Structure 1
Amino acid sequence: MDESELVKQFHELAELAGSLAHEIKNPLSVIHMNADLLSEELSDFDWPGRRRAEAKVDMIRQQCQRMEHLLRDFLRYAGMRDLEMTPGDLNEQVDTVLRLYQAQADKSNIDVLRYLDTDLPSILLHSDSLQGALINLVKNAFESMEDGGEFVVRTYTTPRGVALDLIDTGCGMDDGTAIHMFEPFYSTKNGGSGLGLPTARKIIEAHGGRISVQSEMGRGTKFMLEFPTPARIS
């Protein structure tokens, strides 16, 4: 089988998986809704087995919610193709995401240090998806700093384009975790879908960019993102 046939089969399988996920989503929503209604009805009556029944219904609701989140993340991961790009400012995308997390930073004693190059050239970007990737990365950084710390955000130009560094002083990760962290469904978090970082990478690659990571246990993690700068919009 030649390469073109393999690529065709891969795309067909991806489309089938996306369609299947959509089909699962609908009955799952119905199950979740009826579990909510059943929980309300159980609370209206007092009988010997009520608490056991409520606990079982709560378990169904929790698992429905977990599956809904997994399907949402999977559909987002599977849908990162053919994004409509327009010229934009990477600094603006970064600033928007950091403002979303400022309240959490204050609450968690995290100092956010911005070093954004004001002369940064424009890049081609899709605002919603790129912000989604940055949100995933900032969220992971904040979660790694349970006792507070510093989060350094830096943009600058490189010989190949525009770069963004995200550096935290969190718990860091070992080599085994760093190697697998961009693999779909790999997660070290309890209840995590394992699609957050793979989706972020897929979004960045859809922008023609690349992402790399350096991490050390007990010292922190650095993500570096680099995007090409087309000459026509420099």
Structure 2
Amino acid sequence: MSITTASLTRSAGLCAAAAGVLFIGVQVNHPHLDAEFATTTEYSIRQGLKVLMGVLSLAGITGMYLHQVRRAGVPGLVGYLLFGTSYIIMTSVELIGAVVLPTLARSDPGYVNNVFAMILGEPLSGDLGGMLGLNIAAAATFLGGGLVFGIALFRAGVLARWAAALLAAGSVATLVIPLLPQVNERLFAIPAGIAMIGLGYSLWRSLSTPEARLESNTEAGRVGAP
């Protein structure tokens, strides 16, 4: 099996779509986060899926950007770097949650509950160390990166524009969570998840014909040429 630009691009589309499904799926019937829940098998499974979602998302948006690197221009590059950074940080945080917090939940449940309070936007009762900085960085790069990257994809007009617009809107929609305390904050993952599914499918489908695959490979050769 030969590895081509077209096959990698289609794979990136599948990664993005799968990430969107996971992003929505892990929110379904999610128990309240606390130290007791962190010691359960369900927590470990959900955390593992969140780590996988982060990895797939990074692969997906990389394929999206490279597929339209010239049309996306500087906004596309800035958006991709910010959005990619957010997924790197989020994956790191979720990995810490998967392998570190279950152990700490037994020896220092107060710290773990404080970490979860930070994630849920609740008042903190102690020092979180570097976790607080990571969480702020993840939120800032996700909001800014999702907005700029979504706008760049919309302007490029290569992938589904409705999905690009939804990505931009869904990324910043979480800003209104503090204003709607009666609404389950996990519902705000749905727009971004649907956007990733739509963009991933659009990326996969954009190379569904031999002519499109040839054009993609030709464009990639031009971009890589000195």
Q: Fold conserved (TM > 0.5)?
A: no
Higher relative contact order (CA 8 A, sep 6+): 2
Structure with larger Rg = 1
TM-score (normalised: structure 1): 0.29
If each structure's strand is expressed as a fraction of its own residues, which one has the higher value? Answer: 1
TM-score, with length taken from structure 2: 0.30
